[in-house]
Amino acid sequence: MKYKKILSILLLLLALHVTRDTLHVCYASFEDFSFGARAMGMGGAFMGVSDDASAIFFNSAGLVKLKRPEIMITGASFSHNSDNPVESGESLYGFFSYVHPIQNLGHLGIGYMGRGVDISSRYRENTLGVSYSRLLNFYSSIGLTVKMCSKEYPDNTATISNACDSRFFTDRFPQGINADIAIYFDNIPKMERLSFALAFIDIGAGAMGFRGGLTYRINEFNIFNDITGSADFIARSDGFKFSLGGEAWLKQTEELKKAMKDNLVGVRAGMKFGDNGDFTFAFGGGIKSNRVEKTDWKLDCAVVIPYHTSSKYLSGGLWVSLSFLFGDAYKWEKQERTRFEEERRIKDEMERLLAEKGKFESEKKKWEEDRQRLEDEKRRLEEEKRRLEEAQRNAMDELKKLRGITLKEDREKIIIVATETAIQFASGSPEIVKESYGTLEQIAKALGVYPNTVVRIDGHTDNVPISSRLKSKYKNNLELSQARAESVAEYFVKLGIPGERLVRKGYGDKNPAAPNTTEEGRAKNRRVEITIQK
């Protein structure tokens, strides 16, 4: 823990060294640079991201994405190369901001920006801003930044014209009190990976402009996590510019964790181009600690290479930002969860007490209602049982009237014995003759008043061997009896008896009901037995 604190102090001193001259004397460069090294490394395409303290002057509505206080210090140094001494020199840039979230009230921020060319004599700009943002609903927010802007020329009036040459774009910088207002959309249902923002900038300063941007996020791709692609558009009275950029954080492999002490590493690249021929290319990287429940730090840098066709010179510089995020990023969620759980506990306890009170008051009534319900149910079941038993008796009485039908009944089953007089098949065939359909329909009615029972259908024959003419179909009486049992079952299914209730079995001549020595005995043996398991 000690070496991490030492590292944080050294990084802070480095940032202060870079910005030592820019935070109290504000000198401007020729270009519309972004307010943080992270945004600059993405070519300024940061409107749809806007999730750090630089959003104060960029997209104040994005400040709602900060879950804890953040402080950012940024410094940059640029060199301008030209054969003309007036067009050569060094530009310095400084930016400081602090954002403080207030639970359920919104986010407050304050920022100071200064920029200039040649500390000793050229031209400088100052901007002090105060921001406020809050959520409108789950997926949108609004933000406002009120700014006090001023610019200064050196006392030597002979150099004023030099300070205002074409590359400084001094007419773009607002003066006096003005404001930026922005609206931000994120976590939109069915478009969770997309976010976008719109803003009117420099309102009330006579130099109002419009800025818009969108961002698309990819969770994972090859060696990267949390990939972000962004595009911005800015329009002013003197023209417009586009910015394109991307950011990706390396996956936390074991080797990277060991080398970076669990810190996260990211890379960025972007470009900006406009209608006046200006073009800027930028790339950079960042490292941040990974302690979301403690104080975190971030160090970002960017290399910027602008080129201006209007002045035909190439310049470049280094951009550095150091940020600290204080406290637990999940503090609000934990507090909200604790509050919700406590409210839920109190509500549950009150509901339990009310339920107990109501239970005592309504217990007698409930018992009486239950008793009445059980008595009604008992009467209903007894009535259904009586009707069912009456229907079963009637069905059996009707079967007894049929020729060739014999009934055998005990406590467990009813056996309906149907000789060939009742159920007749074609000779040597399982085909049921039409004259037997009526009998089968009567038997099916009887099966219907014994619901949810298993019905066994047994086919029987006499001992007369299968003729040589039929042996191609049935090798013996056993196969023929099985086919006849199947035919009876299929006919019952056609009459509405569920097939899963029916068990088919052929016995051939194995279980004779009478001796096969006489024609009368053999006729009794050619039968179908239908057993209802009660």
**Per-position pLDDT tens, the chain of length 534:** 444 444 444 444 444 444 434 333 333 334 556 689 999 999 999 999 999 999 999 899 999 999 899 999 999 887 765 555 445 556 778 899 999 999 889 999 999 998 876 545 566 788 999 999 999 998 999 999 999 988 876 555 444 444 444 344 555 677 889 999 999 999 888 898 999 999 999 898 777 889 999 999 987 777 888 899 999 999 887 788 899 999 999 988 888 777 778 789 999 999 998 876 678 889 999 999 988 888 899 999 999 887 655 555 556 788 999 999 998 888 877 877 888 788 889 999 998 888 888 888 888 888 898 899 999 999 999 999 999 999 999 999 999 999 999 999 998 999 999 999 999 998 888 999 999 999 999 999 999 999 989 999 999 999 988 887 777 788 899 999 999 999 999 999 999 999 999 999 999 999 999 999 999 999 999 999 999 998
44, two tokens: 């300024």
Task: Determine the 3-state secondary structure of 86 from DSSP.
Answer: helix
pTM: 0.58
Let me know if residue 233 belongs to a domain. yes
The answer to whether position 335 is within a domain reads no
One domain, residues 100 and 244: yes
| Cα separation, 440 vs 273, whole angstroms | 92
* Residue 251 belongs to some domain of the structure: yes
In a domain, 141, yes or no: yes
**Same domain as 33, residue 101:** yes
Give yes or no: residues 253 and 284 share one domain. Answer: yes
Backbone angles phi, psi at 113, to 5 degrees: -130, 135
Q: Would you give the end-to-end CA distance of the chain in angstroms?
A: 81
Provide the domain limits for residue 27.
2-329
285 & 272 share domain: yes
Q: In terms of domains, do 280 and 131 share one?
A: yes
Q: Do 373 and 475 lie in a common domain?
A: no
Same domain, yes or no: 15 and 116: yes
Do 263 and 377 fall within a single domain? no
Same domain, 160 and 268: yes
Instruction: Count how many domains the chain has.
Output: 3
Q: Which of 352, 373, 400 is the last residue of a domain?
A: 400
Same domain, 472 and 418: yes
- Burial class, 320, CB count within 10 angstroms (exposed 0-12 / middle 13-18 / buried 19+): buried
Indicate whether 334 belongs to any domain. Answer: no
Q: Can you tell me the distance from the alpha carbon of 322 to that of 356, in angstroms, rounded to the nearest whole number?
A: 60
316 plus 441 within the same structural domain: no
Q: Which two tokens stand for residue 322?
A: 């150091």
- Is there a single domain that holds both residue 164 and residue 206? yes
